[in-house]
Amino acid sequence: MRRIVMLVLIFALLCGCVPADEPLPSTSFFAMNTPMSVQIDGGETLLRGVEELAYALERKLSVTDEKSEIFAINSNGGGEVSSETAELIEFALDMCESTDGALDITIYPVLRAWGFTVDDVDYDNGFVLPTDGELSELLALVGYEKVEVSDDSVTLGEGMMLDLGAVAKGYASDRIAGYLRKNGVTSALLNLGGNVYALGKKPNGVKWTIGVADPINGGTLGTLQVEDAAVVTSGGYERSFTGSDGVRYHHIIDPSTGCPADSGLASVTVVGDSGARCDALSTALFVMGLDRASDYWREHGDFEAVFVTSDGELLVTAGLEDNFITQGDYGGTLSSVIR
């Protein structure tokens, strides 16, 4: 329940903040273990089609649904999957390699040990933190480079498991946007559990205004004006608990340690053309920390980012300098622009 409440809060903060002249047809539903909302300049048939597409992707990509393709290969150490699932796994593995393992889609055994794969863990009564020894054993099962994909066949090492949670919702936003474009929609706003995709402009010709959550003070950190772009945020504030040792633990695991990433960042927001890529990068850059993430941006240059450090500094990459409008405690203030 803690996770659902937080995602609903993020959902509220990451909607289009400037209303269109007329309310757009919309739908809200629950898929991929998160609340989703879609506004489109189109009819009810397309809205139902969006829901059906999201559910279809969930049936393929869920790590907990016993009928999904990912659950099957995790249970069997590999197997045949659909071409779509195979292609997404290959994309995710490419992102793992590109980020030098800051993203690792084989982290699932470790994530389970921390209890972040289910919603009903009682962290306040009886949850036992994983020991260093347990984490060491589980880390031996982690290593994206051990995954083999050949055509539509996937092979995992013994005891390994895949989790596409770091790319699945972003990928779903890309697929839904493609479905809407194919059916003539030129204006839509998708919010898939905080993974936002703005298709075109609003019907009145104005860009979509997307709010970014403040991970430290609550409320809204600032806003972006976007069109045909994904906006994805990852932060330690989204899902966390206080352990019996009094330490706060969050769900973004550093694959090099098996522990929640202690990178000096409170949140990372990535803006770019691809929802799947933004989804993957928001997690990876958070794990990297500010210096490595800045270097990665300089090297690749095909996305923009907003960083909030654990001590409250607010930084944006150069492409957002004139686009990101700060609000709340940050009103009018940027700590730095990354160039």
User: Which string of DSSP letters, residue by residue, matches 95-117?
Assistant: HHHHTTTSS-TT-HHHHHHTTTT
pLDDT of residue 2: 33
Q: Which residues of the chain have pLDDT under 50?
A: 1-20
How far apart, in whole angstroms, are the C-alpha atoms of residue 295 and residue 118? 35
Residue 335: predicted pLDDT: 86
**Residue 120's pLDDT is what?**
64
CA geometry: angle at 115 spanning 112 and 118, to 5°? 90
Q: Where are the domains of the chain?
A: 2-338
* Residue 117, pLDDT score: 78
Q: Which residues contact 224 (CB under 8 A, 6 or more apart)?
A: 209, 210, 212, 231, 271, 320, 323, 324, 325
Amino acid present at 83: S
Q: What does the pLDDT read at residue 7?
A: 38
Q: What is the pLDDT of residue 326?
A: 94
CA distance 295 to 215: 23
155-205 confidence digits (pLDDT tens): 999 999 999 999 999 999 999 999 999 999 999 999 999 899 999 999 999
By C-alpha distance, which of 281, 285, 270 is closest to 212? 270
- CATH architecture observed for domain 2-338: Roll (3.10)
